[in-house]
Amino acid sequence: MEFVFSQLMGFGSAFVALVADPLTYAYLIVSVFLGITFGALPGLTATLAVTILTGFFGNKIPLDYSLIALLGAYVGAIYGGSYPSILLNIPGTAASAATAMDGHPLAKAGRGGEALGLITTASFIGTLIGTAALLIFVWVLLLVSQNIASPEKALLALFGILLSGTLMSEDLVIKGWISGLIGLAMAMVGLDPLLSEPRYTFGWSYMLSGFQVVPVLMGAFAVPQIMEGLKHAEVGKMVALQGRILPNMKTIRRYMPTITRSGVIGTGVGALPGVGEDVAGWVSYGVSKSVSKEADQFGKGSVDGLLSSETANNACIGGALIPLLVLGIPGSPPAAALMGAFKINNVIPGPTIDPAIILRVVAILVLASLTMFILGLFTARIFVKILRIPKTVFLPVVMVLTTIGSFSVGGGINDLYLMLGVGFVAYFMNLMRYPIAPLVIGVILGSMFDETLRRSLFLSDGSLGVFVSRPGAAVLLMLNITLIAAQIPALRRRLSRNSRKEA
Amino acid sequence: MTSSDDIAVLRARDFWGAIVLGTLSIFFLWRTSFIPLFGENRAGVSGGDWYNSAALVPLGLFSGLLVLSLILLGISIKSGGAKMAFSALGLGWDKAEAIRFTTLGLILFFYIVGLVPRVDFILCSGLLITALIFGYHGGHQNRMMTSCASVVAAGGYAMFAHLPRSEWALLSDDWITLVLWALLTVVAVSASPRERVARITPILALLLPLVLVLAMAFGFRQNVPNRGGLIFKQIEYHYYVTLKPLWSR
C-alpha cells in the first residue's frame, strides 16, 4: 500500500510540474496535432512521426519537452490512423488495419460520426490503461531487473530480436530473423565496446563511431515509404461524415468490459519486445470475436470489433514503454525511435534509469491522451479534410523534413549518405517482404548484445555454462531455443501430429 | 500476400535475395578474419582469449546469416523461384515500375549526394519538391523523366564541377540549380495550369524549405546544410548585421 501511495505521490508531483508549465501545452497541442495528421495520412506511420520529430526535437530542446513532443506524436499517430480506416477503408497506420473491418461499414451506414466519437473515447481509455500498467509494473520489473546481469541481458536482447522477427514477418519467419541479424551486424561497425578494436570501418574515420541511430531510423522508416508511396493513386472515395462525434456515455458504459479487456490485451502485447500496435489490434480483435455476443456482426459494423482493436492499439503504447524503460529493449517500432531520442540525449534506458524520468513519461502520457481526446472530439473535421491531401504532395515534403532532421542531429553530411544507403536497402527489403522493425531493433541492441555476451564469457573464463547456471539466463536460453526450434519444419510437423493424436 | 502468383514472385525475388545475402555474408566473414580471434599479437601486445575477441560476435552473426541465406535459397528453389528468377515478369517488375524506381532513385541520390552538400538547401529542396510533385503526381512517365533529368543535371554538375570539399562553398552550382528549378516550375505550371496541385507546388517548394531552414538555424540554433549557399548566406548576413542590432541595442 505504501508503495502504491509513494508512486501516486511521485506521479502527482511530476504531473503538477508539467501542468504548471505553459510551454507544456504548446508542445502537447502541436505534437498531438502533428501525430494525428501523420496517422491520418495513409502512407505515413506512427514510427515515421516519432522518427521525424526525433530529428527535430531529439536533442535540441530540454529532455522533458523532447519527450512531450515525441510521446504526444506517438499517442496522436496511433489514434489518427483510425480516420482513413473508418472513412476511406484504408488504414492510416498498420495499427488501425483491424479498425477498418468494422469502422468502414459503420461509416457507410451513416454512423461515421458515432464511430469516430467511440474510438476517440476508447483510444483515450486504452492509453490510460497502458499508462497505469506502466506506472505499476515498471517499478516491479525495475526491482527484478536489478538482479539481471550480463548473461541475461545478452539472451534478452537476442530474444527481443528473434521474437520481433518472428511476429513481424508477413512472409517467412526466417526473413524476420535475417532482418534482425542484419541490424545486429550493422551495430558491429566501428570500435568494439570492450577492446576498441576497429571493425568493418574500411579506413573511413566516420565509421569508427559506428552507425548513428537517427540516420538509420530515418533511412529504414522514412526513405522506403517515400519511394513506395510516390505512385499515382486517386484519393479513395471518402464516406461523408454523418452524425454527432461526441460519444454517447450509455454506449461507452455498455462496451466498458470490451474496452477494459482490450486495454489489458494491448498492454500485454505491447510489453513483448519488438511487437507493435498492429499485432495488439489484431490479437484483441480476434479475442473479442471469439468471446463477443455479437460475433456474427464482426466485419459488418460491430461496435465491439471497432472498440477492441482501437483500444488495444493505444493501450499498447504504455505496454511498449515497459521493456524500453526497464530493460532498454523497445516494445514496438515507434518505441525504437523513442530509444533513439533517449540515446541522443545521453539517457540510457534500463535498470539504471533515473526514476524521475519514468514518472515524467507517465505524466506526459496522461496529458497526451487527454489532449488527443479533446482534439479528437472537437477538431475531427479538420483531420477529415487532411485526408484529402494526395500522397504525392506530402511525401516530397516528408523527404525534405527527413533530410534536414537527419542532418541536424549529427550535423554531418555523412549521416545523410548513411540514411540514403539504409533507405535503399530497406526499400528492397520491403519489396521482398522483410520486416524492417527487427533490423532497427537489432541496430539499437547490437552493442548491448555484443558487450554483454563477451562480458559473460570473460567473467566465466570462456565457459558456456554461465548461460545455464543462472536461473534467469537458463529460462531465457530455453525461450530462445524454443522460439528457433518452433520454426524447424520437421519439429513443427511432429508437434502437429502429436496434437492431432491427442485430439 | 494471399495469391499464389504473389508468392511465386516473392520466391523468385528470394532466390536473388538469398544469393546476395550469402555473398555478403562470405565477404564479411572474410573481413572478420582480419580481426584477431585467437589472441594474436597486436602491435606487440598479446591479444585476449578467443571469448574476449572483437571477432567473436561478428563471426557468429555472419555465420548465422550465411546459414539462413542457404535455407532461404533452398526454400526458393523448392518453390520454383529459381525458374522464375531469370525473367522480369517472374520477378514481378514491369517497365513502368522500373522507370518509376530508377528515376526516383536517381533523384534521391543526386539530391542527397550531389546537391545537399554543395548547393543552398532552400534551392535544392525547392527543386526536389517541384520535381517529385510534378513527376509523380499524375503517374506520367515523360514527367518522371523530365523531373529526373533536371535534378540529375543540377546534382551532376554540382558533384562533378565541385567534387572536393574545398569547393563546396562555390556558387556556380547554386545558380544552375536556381535556373533549373525556375524552368521546371514553368514547365509544371504550364503543363496543367488549371490543376490545383500545379498551382500550389511553387508556393510549397519555396516556403517549406525556407521556413524549415529559418527554424533550424535561428529557432533551434542548429547547423543547416551548406551555410554558404546563395540564399542562406544573405539571410544569415542580414540577420546578424541588419536585424539583430535592432533588438540587441
Residue B90 in any domain: the answer is: no
User: Which of B63, B84, B105 is the endpoint of a domain?
Assistant: B84
Q: Extract the C-alpha cell encoding A489.
A: 519444419
pLDDT tens digits for B97-151? Answer: 899 999 999 999 999 999 999 999 999 999 999 999 999 998 899 999 999 999 9
Question: What is the complex's ipTM, to 2 decimals?
Answer: 0.92
CA angle in degrees (0–180, nearest 5) for B202-B208-B212: 155
B219 is a domain residue: yes
* Residue A199: its H or E element: strand A198-199
B35 — contact with chain A (CB < 8 Å)? yes
Residue B89 lies in a domain: no
Tell me whether residues B117 and A413 touch, CB distance under 8 A: yes
Higher pLDDT, B29 or A342: B29
- B45 pLDDT band, cuts 50/70/90, is low
Q: How deeply is B70 buried, as exposed, middle or buried, from its count of CB atoms within 10 A (0-12, 13-18, 19+)?
A: middle
Interface of A with B in 229-258 (CB under 8 A): 230-232
Measure the CA–CA gap between A53 and A218, rounded to whole angstroms: 10
Q: What is the mean pLDDT of chain B?
A: 89
pLDDT of B43 > 60? The answer is no
CA distance B247 to chain A (A): 23
A503: helix, strand or coil: coil
Give me the residues of chain A with pLDDT under 50, please. Answer: none
Cross-chain CB nearest to A199 (options B54, B129, B225): B54
The answer on B101 and B220 residing in a single domain is: yes
C-alpha span between B244 and B139 (Å, rounded): 47
Give the B window 153-182 contacts with A, CB below 8 Å: none
Q: Which residues of A349-376 are buried (b: 16+ CB within 10 A; e: fewer)?
A: bbbebeeebbbbbbbbbbbbbbbbbebb
Please name the residue of chain A whose CA is at the shortest distance from the CA of residue B50: A462
* CB-based contact, B110 to chain A, within 8 Å: no
**Are both B103 and B127 inside the same structural domain?**
yes
Cell numbers placing A46: 506512427
Q: Are B121 and B218 found together in one domain?
A: yes
- Give pLDDT, residue B1: 46
Judged against a pLDDT cut of 50, whether residue B191 lies above it is answered with yes
Distance CA A448, CA A187 (A): 9
Task: Return phi, psi of residue A177, to 5°.
Answer: -70, -40
Residues B11 and B121 in one domain: no
Distance from CA of A275 to the nearest CA of B (A): 20
Same domain, B61 and B157: no
Residues of B in contact with A453 (CB under 8 A): 56-57
Dihedral angle over CA of A261, A266, A268, A270, nearest 10: -170
Would residue B201 count as lying in a domain? yes
Instruction: For residue B42, name the pLDDT band (cuts at 50, 70, 90).
Output: low
Taking only the tens place, the pLDDT of each residue in B59-106 is 999 999 999 999 999 999 998 888 888 877 667 778 888 999 999 999
* Residue B36, pLDDT score: 82
| Residues B42 and B157 grouped into a single domain | no
Tens digits of per-residue pLDDT, B16-25? 999 999 999 9
Which amino acid type is present at position A43? G
* Spatial CA neighbour of A193 closest among A153, A232, A236: A153
Q: Do B33 and B78 sit in the same domain of this protein? A: yes
Same domain, B99 and B80: no
Q: Is B175 found in the same domain as B78?
A: no
How far is Cα B179 from Cα B230, in angstroms, rounded to an integer? 13
Record: contact B212-A393, CB cut-off 8 A = no
Q: How far is A181 from chain B (nearest CA, A)?
A: 6
Count Cβ–Cβ pairs < 8 Å, chain A vs chain B: 168
To probe the interface with B, which of A168, A169, A178 has the most B CB atoms within 10 Å? A178
B171 and B72 inside one domain: no
| DSSP conformation letters of B159-173 | HHHS-SGGGTT-SHH
Are A409 and A55 in contact by the 8 Å Cβ rule? The answer is: yes
Same domain, yes or no, for B171 and B102?
Answer: yes
Q: Which of A48, A49, A67, A72 is nearest to A57 (CA)?
A: A67
226-245 in B: which are within 8 Å (CB) of A? none
Range of the domain at B72: 4-84
Q: Measured between alpha carbons, how far is A41 from A346 in angstroms, rounded to an integer?
A: 32
Q: Do A396 and B58 touch (CB under 8 A)?
A: no
For an interface test with A, the pick among B212, B221, B223 (most A C-beta atoms closer than 10 Å) comes out as B212
- B66 and B9 in a single domain? The answer is yes
Asked if residue B70 is part of any domain, the answer here is yes
Asked if the structure places residue B130 within a domain, the reply is: yes
Answer yes or no: is B113 within a domain: yes
Query: How far away is chain B from the Cα of A80, in angstroms, using its nearest Cα?
Result: 23
Residue of A53, A59, A206, A392 for testing the chain B interface, max B β-carbons within 10 Å? A392
Between chains, do A420 and B116 touch, taking CB under 8 Å as contact? no
B52 to chain A: which residues are within 8 Å by CB? Answer: 194-195, 454, 457-458
Q: Nearest-CA residue of chain B relative to A191? A: B54
Indicate whether B28 belongs to any domain: yes
Contact of B121 with chain A, judged by CB distance below 8 Å, is answered with yes
Number of domains making up chain B:
2
CA distance B112 to chain A (A): 7
Per the CB < 8 Å rule, is B54 touching A197? yes
